[in-house]
Amino acid sequence: MELGKFKRSSKVKKGGPMIRIAQIGCGYWGPNLLRNFVNLSNVEISCVAEISQERRNYIKEKYPNLYVVSDYNNIFSNRTDAVVIATPAESHYQLAKKMLSNGMHCLVEKPLALKASEAEELINLAKENNRVLMVGHTFLFNAAVRRLREEVKRGTLGRIYYIYSQRLNLGRVRTDVNVMWNLAPHDISILLYVLNEDPVWVRAYGEKYIQENIEDVVFLTIGFESGVVANIHVSWLDPNKVRRMTFVGSKRMIVYDDVEKNKIQIFDKGIDKKSMNKTLGEFDTFGKFQLIKRAGSVVCPSIDFVEPLAVEAEHFVECIENKQKPISDGYHGFVVTKILETAMQSIKNEGDRIELS
């Protein structure tokens, strides 16, 4: 299913069987996931597993009818069709492996795994068990990102030259993964979806200022088959919250800014080549053409906003019901993991360019 064609309805298919979903982890991001799955009409939450007593109390207070436990193994005591995994990144692989092996569909928060080999194993396991494996790359369900992809696909920008992205803020500082594993999966997943092509090389440089072994600032560069180069700057040490991507093309330029009200801005700006014609008395000073700066209008298309996480939750349920491949499927998660894993090698090698095999 093309995401651009996906429209969220007010409810999942009426009259369908109830899908029983369990959730593991309800810390920072988990409550948002739980809220959206609770709101789906043909979903029943079979269990919520959370190791923190404080978080369990929060869940029980907010959803008094839910079955809340400390040990995720309690999931197996109730009939459960699917599991949402919203735990720290290092646990994603083992939990997803266990759930898929027990015949459950899985929605795994990003990243899918910390090693490409582990992500590949999960893909194969889902295929063997005929289960849906989906990764929580929420921005693929953002209407502004869909519009960005549509504009690129229809050739609005012409040939894309380069892209740069900034995902910056002051904190929230993580202790389990570095800033690249924390923030860059969003930008990488958007790039893969919008460009719809494979990356071929990676280069990254990072620095550790706050914690001894965890990078809090990273500059990541990705090269694609078409020659497009994308640079991603992520940081926990910036005075401003920035969520901006800039696409520069031969015809136009587009800025996607998730913080601003006008999330998509299309700039009719660029450098045009004007052929020199001696018969008209024009001088051949610049060779065969002259470079002319063009600065035209700025268009801000209207974006109908629906909470991306709500769209993501409904998409997961529909994929289970209709046996569809998710937009953010296991392979998409694998490529994101492969890029990040390779980028870590580059960071350790002081920014070496590494080809993606």
**Which residues in the chain belong to E strands, given as ranges?**
19-24, 43-49, 68-69, 82-85, 105-109, 133-136, 160-170, 199-207, 217-224, 229-235, 237-249, 253-257, 264-275, 289-299, 354-355
- Per residue in 249-281, pLDDT (tens digit) is 999 999 999 999 999 999 998 787 776 665 555
Measured CA to CA in angstroms, residue 15 lies from 38, 92, 176, 349 at distances of 17, 33, 43, 56
Topology of domain 3-139+308-329 in CATH is: Rossmann fold (3.40.50)
Superfamily of the domain at 140-305+339-355: Dihydrodipicolinate Reductase; domain 2 (3.30.360.10)
Spatial contact of 247 and 228, defined as CB atoms under 8 Å apart? no
Amino acid found at 204: A
Question: In the prediction, which pLDDT does 5 show?
Answer: 38
The pLDDT-based confidence of 1 (bands split at 50, 70, 90) is: very low
Residues 270 and 332: their CA atoms lie apart, in Å, by 32
Mean pLDDT of the chain: 92
Residue with tokens 């960071």: 347
Residues 323 and 126: their CA atoms lie apart, in Å, by 12
Strands of 105-109's sheet in order across: 68-69, 43-49, 19-24, 82-85, 105-109, 133-136
Strand 354-355 and strand 199-207: the pairing is antiparallel
Percent of the chain with pLDDT over 90: 85
Non-local CB neighbours of 78 within 8 Å, separated by 6+ positions: 20, 22, 46, 47, 67
- Which residues on adjacent β-strands are paired with residue 30? none
What are the sequence ranges of the domains in the chain? 3-139+308-329, 140-305+339-355
Residues 99 and 136: their CA atoms lie apart, in Å, by 16
Question: In the prediction, which pLDDT does 102 show?
Answer: 96
Spatial contact of 119 and 135, defined as CB atoms under 8 Å apart? no
- For residue 349, is pLDDT > 70? yes
The pLDDT-based confidence of 293 (bands split at 50, 70, 90) is: confident
Percent of the chain with pLDDT over 70: 91
Global confidence as pTM: 0.90
- Per residue in 237-253, pLDDT (tens digit) is 999 999 999 999 999 99
The pLDDT-based confidence of 9 (bands split at 50, 70, 90) is: very low
Question: In the prediction, which pLDDT does 291 show?
Answer: 79
